Amino acid sequence: MMSENSTRTTDDTAPEAEHIDSVDVFERLLAEEKRVLVDFYAEWCGPCNIMAPTVDEFAAETGAEVVKIDVEELPEIATRYDVKSVPTFIAFRSGEVAERLIGLQEKATLAEAVE
Protein backbone atom coordinates (compact mmCIF):
# COMPACT_ATOMS: atom_id res chain seq x y z
CA MET A 1 0.00 0.00 0.00
CA MET A 2 1.29 3.44 -0.93
CA SER A 3 1.74 6.12 1.68
CA GLU A 4 -0.09 9.42 1.34
CA ASN A 5 3.24 11.20 1.02
CA SER A 6 4.36 9.11 -1.92
CA THR A 7 5.00 11.07 -5.11
CA ARG A 8 4.73 7.91 -7.12
CA THR A 9 1.51 7.34 -8.99
CA THR A 10 -0.63 4.25 -8.50
CA ASP A 11 -1.72 4.56 -12.13
CA ASP A 12 -0.21 1.68 -14.09
CA THR A 13 -0.88 3.52 -17.35
CA ALA A 14 1.92 6.05 -16.75
CA PRO A 15 3.86 6.44 -19.98
CA GLU A 16 7.03 4.47 -20.44
CA ALA A 17 9.77 5.08 -22.94
CA GLU A 18 8.58 3.69 -26.27
CA HIS A 19 10.51 0.77 -27.73
CA ILE A 20 11.50 1.47 -31.36
CA ASP A 21 11.56 -1.66 -33.50
CA SER A 22 12.18 -0.35 -37.02
CA VAL A 23 14.42 2.11 -38.83
CA ASP A 24 11.37 3.68 -40.51
CA VAL A 25 9.65 4.41 -37.18
CA PHE A 26 12.87 5.92 -35.83
CA GLU A 27 13.43 8.16 -38.85
CA ARG A 28 9.80 9.32 -38.79
CA LEU A 29 10.13 10.13 -35.08
CA LEU A 30 13.24 12.25 -35.66
CA ALA A 31 11.49 14.07 -38.50
CA GLU A 32 8.32 14.79 -36.51
CA GLU A 33 9.54 15.51 -32.97
CA LYS A 34 11.54 18.58 -31.92
CA ARG A 35 13.21 16.92 -28.89
CA VAL A 36 13.99 13.21 -28.68
CA LEU A 37 16.07 11.25 -26.17
CA VAL A 38 17.16 7.80 -27.36
CA ASP A 39 18.29 5.15 -24.88
CA PHE A 40 20.51 2.68 -26.77
CA TYR A 41 20.56 -0.51 -24.68
CA ALA A 42 20.89 -4.30 -24.73
CA GLU A 43 18.86 -6.87 -22.79
CA TRP A 44 22.02 -8.45 -21.31
CA CYS A 45 23.45 -5.12 -20.12
CA GLY A 46 23.39 -4.73 -16.32
CA PRO A 47 23.73 -0.93 -16.29
CA CYS A 48 20.99 -0.70 -18.95
CA ASN A 49 18.65 -2.69 -16.70
CA ILE A 50 19.54 -0.43 -13.76
CA MET A 51 18.71 2.65 -15.88
CA ALA A 52 15.38 1.32 -17.24
CA PRO A 53 13.15 2.56 -14.36
CA THR A 54 14.85 5.98 -14.41
CA VAL A 55 14.34 6.28 -18.17
CA ASP A 56 10.66 5.33 -17.82
CA GLU A 57 10.17 7.85 -14.99
CA PHE A 58 11.84 10.53 -17.08
CA ALA A 59 9.61 9.65 -20.06
CA ALA A 60 6.55 10.21 -17.87
CA GLU A 61 7.80 13.60 -16.62
CA THR A 62 9.23 15.29 -19.71
CA GLY A 63 7.74 16.97 -22.74
CA ALA A 64 10.44 15.39 -24.91
CA GLU A 65 9.90 12.09 -26.70
CA VAL A 66 11.86 9.32 -24.93
CA VAL A 67 12.50 6.07 -26.79
CA LYS A 68 14.57 2.91 -26.41
CA ILE A 69 16.50 1.09 -29.12
CA ASP A 70 17.94 -2.39 -28.56
CA VAL A 71 21.33 -2.28 -30.29
CA GLU A 72 21.05 -5.97 -31.15
CA GLU A 73 17.63 -5.54 -32.80
CA LEU A 74 18.59 -2.41 -34.78
CA PRO A 75 22.38 -2.49 -35.18
CA GLU A 76 22.16 -0.24 -38.26
CA ILE A 77 20.92 2.67 -36.12
CA ALA A 78 23.53 2.01 -33.42
CA THR A 79 26.23 1.96 -36.10
CA ARG A 80 24.93 5.14 -37.75
CA TYR A 81 25.31 7.02 -34.45
CA ASP A 82 28.60 5.32 -33.48
CA VAL A 83 27.19 3.63 -30.37
CA LYS A 84 30.04 1.49 -29.08
CA SER A 85 28.88 0.87 -25.50
CA VAL A 86 25.57 0.62 -23.69
CA PRO A 87 23.78 2.35 -22.25
CA THR A 88 24.31 5.33 -24.53
CA PHE A 89 21.83 8.18 -24.51
CA ILE A 90 21.63 10.52 -27.48
CA ALA A 91 19.56 13.69 -27.35
CA PHE A 92 18.30 14.97 -30.70
CA ARG A 93 17.03 18.47 -31.37
CA SER A 94 15.18 18.95 -34.64
CA GLY A 95 16.62 15.68 -35.96
CA GLU A 96 20.26 16.54 -35.17
CA VAL A 97 22.46 15.04 -32.44
CA ALA A 98 22.65 17.59 -29.63
CA GLU A 99 24.24 15.59 -26.83
CA ARG A 100 25.64 12.12 -26.12
CA LEU A 101 25.85 10.52 -22.67
CA ILE A 102 27.45 7.15 -21.97
CA GLY A 103 26.88 4.93 -18.95
CA LEU A 104 24.71 5.37 -15.86
CA GLN A 105 23.10 8.82 -15.69
CA GLU A 106 21.06 10.83 -13.22
CA LYS A 107 17.53 11.77 -14.29
CA ALA A 108 18.54 15.46 -14.03
CA THR A 109 21.38 14.87 -16.50
CA LEU A 110 18.93 13.31 -18.98
CA ALA A 111 16.68 16.34 -18.54
CA GLU A 112 19.54 18.75 -19.22
CA ALA A 113 20.43 16.84 -22.38
CA VAL A 114 17.01 17.36 -23.98
CA GLU A 115 16.41 20.95 -22.82
Catalytic sites, residue numbers:
45, 48
Start-to-end CA span in the chain (Å): 35
Pairing of strands 35-41, 65-70: parallel
Look up residue 11 and give its DSSP letter: -
Q: Is 89 left (phi over 0), alpha (psi -120 to 50) or beta?
A: beta
